[in-house]
Each structure stands twice: as C-alpha cells, then as structure tokens.
C-alpha cells in the first residue's frame, strides 16, 4: 500500500499531484495546432455535427460539475445549446428530435447506475450517445455509440480530483471538435483555445508548487463553522466542486453558490467564522464577484480569493494566483480548492481516501 502511494500519505494527495501528468496524457496526440483542430477519433456520421440542435450532458457528483463547465465551453466554442442534467433526474423529453440531440454520459468509473440509467433512456428514445470516461471496458462504453477516454490514469481516492481536470479538458477538446465541425470556431480562435489548453499541465504545476501557502490557510481556517465557495461563469461549477470536495473529506459544512446569489439568502449565514472562498480569475467575471465578496467581508467573513497572475487583489485576506490560461483559469483554481480540502481534512485527521458513508462508484440507483 505504502509503495503504491509513492511516498504520499494518501492517494488523494498523490492524485492531486499527478494532475500535470494526467493532463499531458489527456492531451497526448490530440491537438493539431497548425490546423487549429483536434483529433478525437469519433465516428459521427457525415453532416451530423452541422445538424445538431442540442447537446445534453448527464452525470453525477463531481462529473456533474465537470459537465457544467463543459456545457458553457460547448455553447461558447460550438454555438450549440448545451444542457446538463443530474443523471437520476434525466428524462429524454420536451419534443426534442433524437437525431439532432447528442447525449453525453460523463462518468469517471463508467459504472454509476444513475448515469447508465440516463444513457439508456436517451438511447431508448433514439438519441446518439457518447461516453466520456476514464475506464476502458466499463459498462458505459458498451452502451454508447462512441467513447472518449479522459486518460487520467487510475484514481483510487474516493474524492475525485485528477479525473475532474481530465474530464473538463477532454470535453474542452470535444467543444473545439464540435465548433470546428459546425464551422462556428475559426482557425485562429481554435488555436487560441488550444494554446491555453496546452498551458494547463504547467499552470497546474505552478499551483502545486504553492501548496505550503494552502496548508497555512487551511490551518487558519480550522475553527470555522462553515465554508462558502462562490464563483461566476466557469467559476460557478468550480465553487460547487470546491464545496463538495471539502464536505466529502473534512465533514465540514461547505456550500457552493453562484456569487450573485450570496445576497439572496446565504448572506444570512455569514459571520467571522465562515470563510468565503472565491474564484476571481479570468473566465469567472472576478471584478463582479469582488463586490459580492465585499458584502461577506463587511460581516466579518475571511475572504480567500483565487486570482489571475498579477491581478489586483484588493482587500482579500488571502490571494492565491493562477497562471494566465483564459477560460481555463477556474479549472486551475480548482486545484487550490482540492489542496485546501485535503489539508483541512488532514489537519483534522480524517479518513481522506475512504470518507465515511461514501463509495468511489455507486452502482445502485
């Protein structure tokens, strides 16, 4: 066991640190910068992408938040309506044309019963289906028309970390493929996106190199009553994922909100013992979120913000920086949230790799 953890005390920390490697694997051989395109080896029929009206992503847990990130990428790059549904709530309905609807199951394990149920409902209605998974030979790969592997390598810790990064990155490549296929993403714009994607492994490494600061912040927050995570646009799913990670492994009360919603209710819970962690980078409309954060600070809440490298940090109690990679900066910010969750849980001596009541893969509906 100790050897498999490669010198780390927990699989989770090992897997957080494996993210640069995981992302390189995810991208390997898939980017063609000259053409401004990607090669994903998918077998869409001729004319299929051009005729698409909607992409639906179905998923659970962390994969659901990865799907939320991806839906916005798809709308932005591929000019196609993209919706996300929690797999256990999904029905193929609303008068959609199955031929013009692509349903994507996003599942690390490929075995989550809720997600398999959703993809079966979609396939039963006649929609084309695609699996985005980490697991070769998993059930989802046998039940969908196509599979896209995220290639993150095995993930043992129950709390998903590197698979989230690889899911979003794989789906970003898919968004480029769909955008190019539909003629809605120019060569120049695709190259810009792909340059940022190629910067991800290095950007994540820079965050990992800053781990000591995160440990300090985690230590300062140990006496907190609850933790709030906020963000806009791509920062919103990352806020939700940050809160999920913390509650899963530290058992602290943690909630994620769209930053603009803080004032519509959650602010009533804010005190000097409820740190607010905010995504303030590019891709997250940080300048607007700063105003929401200020309302929490007025009530005494410590404000921890993740900002773009070199950006104004204003009155933050703690500013954590991410390298400039455009709309992927919130994805890099998420690595700070993973480290934060890990260190809070570790300082509290929690069962990090196997949190109480949770399973890596849930095979019952």
CB 121 → ligand G6P: shortest distance, Å?
16
Residues in Cβ contact with 192 at an 8 Å cutoff, skipping those fewer than 6 apart: 326
Tokens of 157: 């810790």
Q: How far is the CB of 52 from ligand G6P (least distance, A)?
A: 24
The gap from C-alpha 101 to its chain's centroid, in whole angstroms, comes to 23
What is the smallest separation between the CB atom of 114 and ligand G6P, expressed in angstroms?
8
- Find the shortest distance in angstroms from Cβ 277 to ligand G6P: 20
Q: CB of residue 216 vs ligand G6P: minimum separation in angstroms?
A: 27
Q: What are phi and psi of 349, to 5 degrees?
A: 60, 40
DSSP 122: H
Residues with a catalytic annotation lie at 360
What is the Cα 124 distance to its own chain's centre? 29
Task: Please say which residue, 25 or 112, places its beta carbon nearer to ligand G6P.
Answer: 112
Nearest 10 degrees: Cα torsion 219, 349, 64, 254 = -50
Alpha-carbon distance of 32 to 65, in angstroms, equals: 28
Nearer to ligand G6P, 61 or 256 (CB): 61
- Asked whether 11 and 342 are in contact (CB, 8 A), the reply is no
Rg (CA), the chain: 20
CA distance 323 to 308: 6
Greatest CA separation for the chain: 58
Q: Closer to ligand G6P at the Cβ: 67 or 289?
A: 67
Cβ closer to ligand G6P: 57 or 160? 160
d(CA 1, CA 221): 31
Q: Which is nearer to ligand G6P, 56 or 109 (CB)?
A: 109
For residue 55, the surrounding DSSP H or E stretch is: strand 54-59
- For ligand G6P, the nearest residue by Cβ is 61
The residue ranges that bind ligand G6P (CB under 6 A) are 60-63, 107-109, 112, 115, 158-160, 358-362
């Amino acid at each position: 066991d100790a050897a498999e953890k490669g010198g780390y005390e927990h699989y989770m920390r090992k897997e957080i640190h494996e993210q640069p490697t995981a992302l390189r694997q995810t991208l390997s051989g898939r980017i063609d910068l000259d053409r401004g395109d990607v090669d994903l080896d998918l077998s869409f029929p001729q004319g299929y992408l051009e005729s698409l009206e909607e992409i639906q992503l179905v998923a659970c847990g962390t994969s659901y938040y990865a799907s939320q990130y991806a839906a916005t990428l798809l709308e932005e790059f591929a000019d196609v309506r993209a919706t996300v549904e929690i797999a256990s709530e999904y029905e193929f309905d609303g008068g959609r044309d199955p031929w013009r609807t692509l349903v994507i199951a996003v599942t690390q394990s490929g075995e989550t019963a809720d997600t398999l149920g959703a993809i079966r409902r979609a396939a039963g209605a006649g929609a084309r289906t695609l699996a985005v998974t980490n697991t070769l030979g998993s059930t989802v790969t046998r039940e969908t028309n196509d599979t896209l592997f995220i290639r993150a390598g095995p993930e043992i810790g129950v709390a998903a970390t590197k698979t989230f990064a690889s899911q979003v990155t794989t789906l970003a490549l898919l968004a480029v493929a769909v955008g190019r296929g539909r003629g809605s993403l120019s060569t120049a714009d695709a190259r810009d996106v792909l340059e940022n994607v190629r910067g991800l492994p290095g950007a994540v490494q820079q965050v990992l190199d800053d781990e000591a600061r995160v440990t300090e912040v985690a230590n300062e927050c140990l006496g907190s009553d609850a933790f709030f995570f906020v963000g806009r646009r791509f920062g919103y799913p990352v806020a939700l994922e940050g809160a999920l990670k913390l509650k899963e492994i530290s058992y602290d009360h943690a909630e994620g909100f769209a930053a603009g919603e803080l004032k519509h209710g959650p602010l009533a819970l804010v005190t000097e013992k409820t740190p607010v962690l905010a995504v303030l980078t590019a891709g997250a409309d940080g300048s607007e979120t700063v105003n929401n954060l200020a309302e929490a600070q007025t009530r005494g809440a410590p404000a921890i913000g993740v900002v773009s490298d070199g950006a104004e940090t204003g009155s933050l109690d703690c500013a954590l920086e991410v390298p400039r990679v455009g709309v992927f900066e919130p994805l890099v910010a998420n690595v700070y949230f993973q480290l934060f969750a890990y260190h809070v849980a570790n300082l509290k001596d929690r069962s990090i790799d196997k949190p109480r009541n949770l399973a890596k893969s849930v095979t019952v509906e």
